[in-house]
Structure 1
Amino acid sequence: MLTAPKTLSGLMGLCVGDALGVPVEFTSRTELVKSPVTKMLGYGTWNQPPGTWSDDSSLTFCLAESLCRGYSLDAIANSFWRWYKDAYWTPRGEIFGIGESTHAVIMRLKQGISPLQAGGTSEMSNGNGSLMRILPMAFCYKNLTFWELMRRVHEVSCITHAHPRAQMACGIYINIAVAILQGADLPTAYLQGLRNSQKIYAADEYGSEQPHFARIFSGEIAQLPMAEINSGGYVIDTLEASLWCLLNTSSYAEAVLKAVNLGGHTDTTAGVTGGLAGIYYGVECIPQQWVKQIARRQDIINLANRLAAAVLD
């Protein structure tokens, strides 16, 4: 039996987590404690059928598709525009729930502003919109030096979110993903990812951002009580919550359901969690009844195979 590529485990892991969260996005934690999500639901917040993924997965797939043809910021940015204009890489031919920052950036890209100049740079430009789609960059690690991989991760973040904090969150996440791809267990991958991240984020350019990541860089994010884990749209909240869910569970299903049931930005928290959990546990450990309900499942499988051929050979 052929082993599924890690690209499929990651992309499907992210997408399933996203789809689990879509129907209850913006639902409060209090409400989800009373009535937790335990299976793939439908309709709810966005009135979409079960298995429908959000812009989180759409933009992840746009990035993955672009990487199949090599690295080009212009091509990646153009794929984001196609998603917005032509419903490219949408689950059912329409977009819904697009974030304000991402929408504003796509309008700037349409006006001809270069991808590296399009993303917001203000303190308020630290939503989770680049973190939610950055995962495919991790699969490029074999073909790039550490420094080149991090440079590209930062550039891809900058298309929509150019503040150093958003770039840093993406870099930390990718370093942890790479450690998992290299075979580390989850606690080790977390700490290894932090050590590698410090190589670049101890520099002056990012030094002022270090305090915002203190709880992550402590190496003890898993020990925090749930009451101290936030699950809104702030990029650090999303990164903290995803790592907390990953490190406090022992299966893919448990990790993504814990993420969904934190409430708030349920699709993004579960998608960011699910990307790492998928890589670690493998696509065969994602409940098959969930995978079978995913919109465009075969297209996602085909994309993952193309990406694997492009970057993992």
Structure 2
Amino acid sequence: MTAPPPLSPTLGALLGVHTGDSLGATLEFTTHSRIKSTYPTGLRDIIGGGAFSWPPGHATDDTDLTRAVLLAYRDREEFRKAGSSQAEEFDVAKCAAECSLKWLEGDWPERKKGSRPIDIGGATLTGLSKYARSRDPKNCGAGPGSAGNGSLMRCIPTALFTRGREGRIKESMAISAVTHNDARCTVSCAVYNEIVASLVSGATPKGAVDVGLEVATSLDCPSVEAAISRGESLSISKIAEEGPGEELPDRTSGYVLQSLSVAIAALLDPRSFEDVLVDVVRIGGDTDTNGAIAGGLLGARDGIEAIPPRWLEKLQFRGEFEELARSILQSQAN
């Protein structure tokens, strides 16, 4: 069996998503100019609030749905330990869909039973509503043409807990397709997860991005290839200071390829986890999701030690994420 990945970048990746989500939640939908006038050097503390009045460190849909996918990998490992020798018999996409449906229907920590999430993307709602009727993870999704970032924001557990590129790509695309089955979304998830897996295994940021580009090429998705190349040319610090402008013309509105480009640029920025993530959020727009997606890459790059303790201590699911990650990795090592 392939050795499990090191613990520090695994925890960094998971909690990087949570951190970026919670930091960005305060400024979701806020323009760059408004952020610059209120926080001239960027928001540097997790303070909650925002459009949905989040408690500090509380998960938005980004982290909640990452948790749903993480729970699916926990359940797969429990299935394997229970005696099955064929882990592929476990449908991880279906399990992730079931966990996501629990989130949608209010069977979730710190939520009133039966209550709906206060924030949910249109494609996610469409896909999960179709799944609730069909219970078929291959027969839902919002359809081609719907290319939001709602599956990219939640996909990272696949990178961390599935060994082997072929399996990761298959699972990344299948889990995305439950809600986001446009090829731009499914391929972006596969690319992102191969970048994360490469980072956790010790690749340089540039080396990991090259792996992602190779995957996009192998899956014949030129638009994702272009998004990666675009990310390589962007300067996060410049955009954070001057505003999106022509470099990001749709102003980080939630388009999956733009979020992927921003995350690639963040990964290749040599500054600290904190400085880069603050600048990703400072760009404005879909700040929580862009923060989550970039935070996952930065956490895989730098490890959990790079995430400021004052941020970690506020995260709603920190303890659970750490416990689940350690448990899955330990089980896989046995």
Superposition TM-score, scaled by structure 1 size: 0.88
- Tell me the distance in 1 between the aligned counterparts of 2:169 and 2:108: 27
- Tell me the distance in 2 between the aligned counterparts of 1:310 and 1:157: 26
Aligned to 1:54: 60
Amino acid at match of 1:85: E
Aligned to 1:240: 261
Amino acid at match of 2:316: A
Aligned to 1:274: 295
Aligned to 2:219: 201
Per-residue deviation, 1:161: 0.4
Report matched runs for 1:167-178 at 5 Å: 167-178=186-197
- Tell me the distance in 2 between the aligned counterparts of 1:139 and 1:112: 29
User: CA 1:161 to 1:303, structure 2 compared with 1: closer, same or farther past 3 Å?
Assistant: same
Comparing 296-305 and 222-231, the one that deviates more: 222-231
Amino acid at match of 1:65: L
User: CA 1:287 to 1:92, structure 2 compared with 1: closer, same or farther past 3 Å?
Assistant: farther
- Alignment pair present for 1:163 and 2:175: no
- Tell me the distance in 2 between the aligned counterparts of 1:157 and 1:303: 22
Q: Which runs of 5+ in 2 are unaligned?
A: 1-5, 77-89, 240-244
- Tell me the distance in 2 between the aligned counterparts of 1:10 and 1:223: 22
- Tell me the distance in 2 between the aligned counterparts of 1:5 and 1:249: 19
- Alignment pair present for 1:105 and 2:117: no
Choose which of 37, 40, 54 in structure 1 pairs with 2:43. Answer: 37
Choose which of 64, 80, 85 in structure 1 pairs with 2:100. Answer: 80
Q: Is the 8 A contact 2:274 2:308 kept in 1?
A: yes
- Tell me the distance in 2 between the aligned counterparts of 1:252 and 1:180: 14
Per-residue deviation, 1:131: 0.3
Per-residue deviation, 1:140: 3.4
Identity %: 26
Q: Which runs of 5+ in 1 are unaligned?
A: none
- Tell me the distance in 1 between the aligned counterparts of 2:107 and 2:270: 35
- Alignment pair present for 1:64 and 2:83: no
Q: Is the 8 A contact 2:49 2:55 kept in 1?
A: yes
Per-residue deviation, 1:167: 0.8
Please give the per-residue CA displacement for 1:185-241, whole angstroms capped at 9, x wherever unaligned: 21222123212432x223xxx4xxx14642424673345862313421110011111
Aligned residues: 301
Aligned to 1:132: 153
Aligned to 2:14: 11
Please give the per-residue CA displacement for 1:231-269, whole angstroms capped at 9, x wherever unaligned: 211100111111112222421111211111111110000
- Tell me the distance in 1 between the aligned counterparts of 2:200 and 2:101: 30
Aligned to 1:214: 226
- Alignment pair present for 1:305 and 2:317: no
Per-residue deviation, 1:311: 4.7
